[in-house]
Structure 1
Amino acid sequence: MSTDVITRGGETRGLVQASGAMFLVGTLAGVAGAIRDYPLYGGQALRYLLASAVLLAVARLAGLRFLRLTLKETALLVALSITGLVIFNVCVIEATGHGGPALVGTVLGTVPLALALLDGRPSPRVVGAAAVVVAGATVATGLGSGDMTGLLWSLGALVCEVCFSLLALPLLPRLGAVRVSAYSAALAVPMLVVIGLTVDGAAMLRVPTPAEAAGLGYQSIIVTTVAFFLWYDALPRLGPGRAGLFAGLIPVGAIATGAVLGLGAPSAADLAGAALVVAGIVIGLRVSRTRQAPPGTDGGSVPQRSPELALLGDAPQHDREE
């Protein structure tokens, strides 16, 4: 099999994973309403406890041994957990309560532009495409819903979403997508427990209603376990600028979830915005046929790995158990 075929396959995998991950993240805003009355910090602690247990089990079954972290890696993981997991979800839940999924989706729709501008040397094409995606996200969800408090919470979620990607990039080459997802989720649990005990005391946990249990389970398995792995495996393959374009699918996921849950049918503006989002992604991912990627690379992504490692897109062979 030629190198070009391998790299194209790796890039295609990254595109599919990035789109799926961001769509699933978008569903969080709609599902958040189902757990609005459950103690916030206790619920999120349960969510990440279950997610980390599942991810660590997957790592074990895949033969990925525990790696001793350096001081830098530990600091990055702690910062990632605090911003991208703990504070992000608090912001989303609070913003949803003040402005609904539309406002959160609109603000998070600006993630492509933020990542494109922060991606070292972003090309004009990627920056322009990101602007189109942002415009589509804004049209789809419509600014003006909610209040100033909701907008501030949404802006907090935006900053945390950017940190979720940028803080993970230095960790992924050695730890891989499964370990970064598992370790960051596990680190979030004690943080949330401490905050929950401080704020809510013994009331931080209670038996959830069936709807709350379903919402927490969905957040844990789908939005955390699945989406985290998909995103972290796609991120080094595409780079933050190109991968960030798919954050434009966050409001699309929010709109779709709202429609499924009976929170409102898509309007003409929703559909027009979604079309702009797709157009921006296509523009950003369009690769000139006159510019070929160097051998062994994926258009600027990491080198492709052997087939036996491709199952989880994870760590190099010396990091696995014999």
Structure 2
Amino acid sequence: MTISKGTAVGFCVLGMTLVGSSVAVSQLLLDYPTLTAQAIRYTAAAAMLFLIAHRFPRLGGSTPGVRPTVRELGILLVVAATGMAGFNACIMLALHHDTEPAVVGTIIGAAPLGLALLGPLVGPLVAGGRARPSTRIVAAAAVVVAGTVLVEGTGRATTVGVLGAAGALVGEILFSLLAAIVLPRLGAVRVAAYSCALAVPLLLLGALVAGEPAAWRLPTATETGALAYLAVLMTVVAFVFWFIGLERLGVARAGILVGLMPVATLTTAAVMAMAVPGIGPALGVLTVAAGLAFGLTGKTDKPAAAGAAGQSASGSRGGKDGAAAAGQERSASLTASA
């Protein structure tokens, strides 16, 4: 499936907006067994994604009937373990240890810079050749990160909470980097479907180790609604749109759009609280917008001569990317998200 750069940007924006808006929704699940809730969410999402892949086999750029190889399954397993199960576990660890969502969001907000620096390394794995980070993209990512800090601000944090947020940041970055390797052949829908399915047993195992079975119960009506939102919009819709857009834009360029997550989180929180954001967050939104405009327009640095092929996979056609849930599942972060 060939889409324009503008459409790809729109897909990524929608994906990150959904991920960012899910923070408030995820907080409705703080009283429900954490890992169990995520296992339910990913089970439902995987079922829907496999159904979509069966009914619309070419959706998301995949080839009908394609199956992941053993190597690809290994990569997808790491995506599920780090960018999904691990990401959510780290987020909830931070939130449960007296660390404010703003602090978690600020730390995860560094994901665009990490993707800008590491994204070009994915190109050679997909198409061969060499590539180096674009100065323009790295600078734009730094501006977006600065805007994220203004948007999220600072707040109360503990050592365990900060470590949990840092773990979520690593998971967010790996979510996109690793997904980029398998997206060209498997397509967005299948990558999302297999990742969700592989995350379920990991989460259930984690729930057993954490002693959650003793607290298992049916979710309340509010919790059921939150789980449905996370499964349908935050996972199925956001993941597929994010993967499609990232394959077209490349990890480094699309990665800066992860900076939209805290903006979406701020907007959602303001709407739910019926309160106007302060001057700092408002300036942060403008800063993020400026960074995105700078990074998504104009020419980027040329890769090393031998690396044209690498850039083409990591930039234009698809070094791709992923996931980060948010693959910053990715600020979606703050949630129990992607």
TM-score under structure 1 normalisation? Answer: 0.84
Displacement of 1:298:
9.9
Cα distance in 1 between the residues matched to 2:99 and 2:276: 17
Q: 1:264 to 1:145 in 2, by over 3 A?
A: farther
Q: 1:203 aligns with which of 208, 211, 214?
A: 214
Q: Confirm or deny: 8 A CA contact 2:251 2:315 kept in the other structure.
A: no
Deviations 1:18-57 (A, max 9, x none): 1111222222332221000101111111000000011111
Q: Which amino acid aligns with 1:71?
A: V
Displacement of 1:234:
1.1
Aligned CA RMSD, in angstroms, stands at 2.4
Number of corresponding residues = 293
Task: Say yes or no: does 1:68 pair with 2:67.
Answer: yes
SS in structure 1 opposite 2:83?
helix
Q: Which amino acid aligns with 2:4?
A: G
Show the counterpart of 2:113.
113
Task: Say yes or no: does 1:14 pair with 2:30.
Answer: no
Q: Which amino acid aligns with 2:160?
A: T
Task: Say yes or no: does 1:171 pair with 2:182.
Answer: yes
Q: Confirm or deny: 8 A CA contact 2:86 2:171 kept in the other structure.
A: yes
Q: Confirm or deny: 8 A CA contact 1:22 1:249 kept in the other structure.
A: yes
Q: Confirm or deny: 8 A CA contact 2:33 2:212 kept in the other structure.
A: no
Task: Say yes or no: does 1:242 pair with 2:242.
Answer: no
Cα distance in 2 between the residues matched to 1:299 and 1:241: 7
Q: 1:17 to 1:204 in 2, by over 3 A?
A: farther
Deviates more, 1:50-59 or 1:143-152: 143-152
Show the counterpart of 1:86.
85
Q: Which amino acid aligns with 2:230?
A: Q
Q: 1:288 to 1:169 in 2, by over 3 A?
A: closer
Show the counterpart of 2:316.
301
Cα distance in 2 between the residues matched to 1:225 and 1:204: 27
Cα distance in 2 between the residues matched to 1:299 and 1:206: 45
SS in structure 2 opposite 1:86?
helix
Cα distance in 2 between the residues matched to 1:115 and 1:69: 25
Cα distance in 2 between the residues matched to 1:108 and 1:229: 21
Show the counterpart of 1:96.
95
Q: 1:30 to 1:186 in 2, by over 3 A?
A: same
Q: 1:264 to 1:39 in 2, by over 3 A?
A: farther
Deviates more, 1:214-223 or 1:171-180: 214-223
Cα distance in 1 between the residues matched to 2:19 and 2:27: 14
Cα distance in 2 between the residues matched to 1:116 and 1:213: 37
Show the counterpart of 2:156.
145
Q: 1:101 to 1:28 in 2, by over 3 A?
A: farther
Aligned pairs for 1:305-320 (under 5 A) are: none
Q: 1:228 to 1:235 in 2, by over 3 A?
A: same
Q: Which amino acid aligns with 1:74?
A: L
Q: Which amino acid aligns with 2:67?
A: R
Q: Confirm or deny: 8 A CA contact 1:259 1:266 kept in the other structure.
A: yes
Aligned pairs for 1:217-236 (under 5 A) are: 217-236=228-247
Displacement of 1:66:
4.6
Q: Confirm or deny: 8 A CA contact 1:239 1:300 kept in the other structure.
A: yes
Displacement of 1:257:
2.2
Deviations 1:197-253 (A, max 9, x none): 232253353111121111111111111111110111111211111101101111112
Cα distance in 2 between the residues matched to 1:162 and 1:119: 9
Displacement of 1:138:
0.4
Displacement of 1:146:
2.7
Q: 1:211 to 1:279 in 2, by over 3 A?
A: same
Show the counterpart of 2:24.
30
Q: 2:49 aligns with which of 33, 55, 64?
A: 55
SS in structure 1 opposite 2:210?
helix
Q: 1:281 to 1:221 in 2, by over 3 A?
A: same
SS in structure 2 opposite 1:146?
coil
SS in structure 2 opposite 1:168?
helix
Cα distance in 2 between the residues matched to 1:283 and 1:256: 22
Q: 2:296 aligns with which of 261, 285, 292?
A: 285
Q: 1:167 to 1:38 in 2, by over 3 A?
A: same
Q: Confirm or deny: 8 A CA contact 1:238 1:300 kept in the other structure.
A: yes
Question: Which has the higher Rg, Structure 1 or Structure 2?
Answer: 1
Q: Confirm or deny: 8 A CA contact 2:28 2:222 kept in the other structure.
A: yes
Cα distance in 2 between the residues matched to 1:180 and 1:229: 9
SS in structure 2 opposite 1:261?
helix
Displacement of 1:143:
2.7
Task: Say yes or no: does 1:258 pair with 2:281.
Answer: no
TM-score under structure 2 normalisation? Answer: 0.81
